[in-house]
Amino acid sequence: MASLHPLRSRRLGVLVALLLVPTLAARAQAPARLDPARLVPHIYSLAAVANGQRVGWWRYEITRLADGWRYEDRTQLGARLDQRTTILLDGEGRIRSVEQRARMGEDSLTADAAWTDTRVTGESRTPGPTPHRTFDLPITPATIDDNFLAAVLPTLDWAVGDTLVLEVMSTGQGTVTPMALTVERGDTIEVDGRAVPVWVGTMTGGPLPVQYVVSRDRPRRVHRIAPIGSPLAFERVAG
């Protein structure tokens, strides 16, 4: 389970800024790309858990449109954070726009980005020493927005020992960063009283590595997102 720098601290989490620093572990290889044929309209939820207590939730929905796709998510962490993100994609699965709106206590945070095949332009407004950021950056067809990671990762091909390189755009930071997801092992977890085979992988590239647990059978879903070293994690809820 997370672009507006403090925002992006949201699901991965409000306590830590994640997935923003280039990884040194990524081996030289082409970045992984979203296959739009693997996108499936669905609604999914994860519970935010800290120190064994439920402290909030994150919910996203992927909707098929006449000319592409819409991804919408909302994250709530009590009174600390309420964030909404909308991402529009064309029929080829290429991002065309990102919009974020959030409140953190008394602070409002916004970020907007327009995507073409080769560039992303936009701005963000957040509290802090650099409250207003603008950006105009080169991108490739493999670039994805960091808010879209949890929906994209299950569509990729996972195999134990593989490292998936990802080119990730942070709208709040105005940066494009290489990330690396290493698939460490297969495992089995219990979900609603049944055994579910999963992949376990770790994403590097931020201040903290982030563990992802993804079901092996399609349609795949993320079952857990846990920054290693942080008390906050996002875990699947029933239904």
- Which run of H or of E encompasses 182? strand 175-191
Residue 238: the pLDDT is 61
Render each residue's pLDDT in the chain as its tens digit; 239 residues: 444 444 444 444 333 333 333 333 334 578 899 999 999 999 999 999 998 899 999 999 999 999 999 999 999 998 889 999 999 999 999 999 999 999 988 888 999 999 999 999 999 998 777 788 999 999 999 999 999 998 999 999 999 999 999 999 998 888 999 999 999 999 999 888 889 999 999 999 877 899 999 999 988 999 999 999 999 999 987 65
Contacts of 129 (CB under 8 A, 6+ apart): none
DSSP structural state of residue 229: T
- Which run of H or of E encompasses 169? strand 163-170
User: Is the distance from CB of 18 to CB of 165 less than 8 angstroms?
Assistant: no
Contacts of 54 (CB under 8 A, 6+ apart): 47, 48
Interatomic CA distance for residues 204 and 201, integer angstroms: 10
Residue 217: the pLDDT is 92
